[in-house]
Structure 1
Amino acid sequence: MSDTVPEPEAVPEAQPREPKPQEPERDPAAPAPLNVHRTPTDNAEVDAHLARLGDTDHLATDGHVEVYEDVHRGLRDALTALDARPGPPVPPSTYQSRS
């Protein structure tokens, strides 16, 4: 056994660390995308209204109502327009009333 105290080992100089990229804190009250898949209908007008539903992904909940009402109004107008279009001409009736 020796009465001498060993010298401490030299510690290499610390390299400056690059700061970790901080992930932004997620605010649970912030708008979050719903990621709802919308299937195309092959009707450009209807598809445009359905695509507008995606706007709610970036709005707070209290802003959803305006978008939903706008989309509902647009879809209702599109359905009403289908009723207003003239259909094929109706063939004359072969039934003749007897007087």
Structure 2
Amino acid sequence: MTDDVSASVPDVPAEPAGAAPLGLVRTPTGHAGVDARLERLADADHLPADEHAAVYEDVHGGLREALTALDAPPVPGPYENRS
């Protein structure tokens, strides 16, 4: 009695497939700083999943800075505040 077990086992790749980009389209916002941070998200496409958090934290920090800058008072020009 010789059963050929290998004939019933599906082909399994020796190594898992690499990271595949999601192919998400990023629509430009018109704000250069924000657009640069959003483009940085593409870096995660080429990294293993356990390294995604560092990219997301960097992008999140940059977006927070951009939002905080919107609340900052304008810097007076050289000819303002004249008495």
Corresponding residue SS for 1:73: helix
Match of 2:32 among 40, 44, 47: 44
Q: Distance in 2 between matches of 1:67 and 1:76?
A: 14
Question: What corresponds to 1:62 in structure 2?
Answer: 50
Aligned Cα RMSD in Å?
A: 1.8
Uncovered stretches (5+) of structure 1, i.e. residues with no partner: 1-24, 87-99
| Paired AA for residue 60 in structure 2 | H
Radius of gyration: which is bigger?
1
Q: What is the CA distance between 1:29 and its match in structure 2? A: 4.4
How many percent identity over aligned positions? 64
Write 1 or 2 for the structure with the bigger share of helix. 2
- Which structure 1 residue ranges, 4+ long, deviate > 3 Å from structure 2? none
Question: What corresponds to 1:80 in structure 2?
Answer: 68
Q: What is the CA distance between 1:73 and its match in structure 2? A: 0.1
What is the TM-score when the length of structure 2 is the normalising length?
A: 0.68
What is the TM-score when the length of structure 1 is the normalising length?
A: 0.57
Q: Between Structure 1 and Structure 2, how many residues are aligned?
A: 62
- Which one scores higher on RCO, CA 8 angstroms, separation ≥ 6? 2
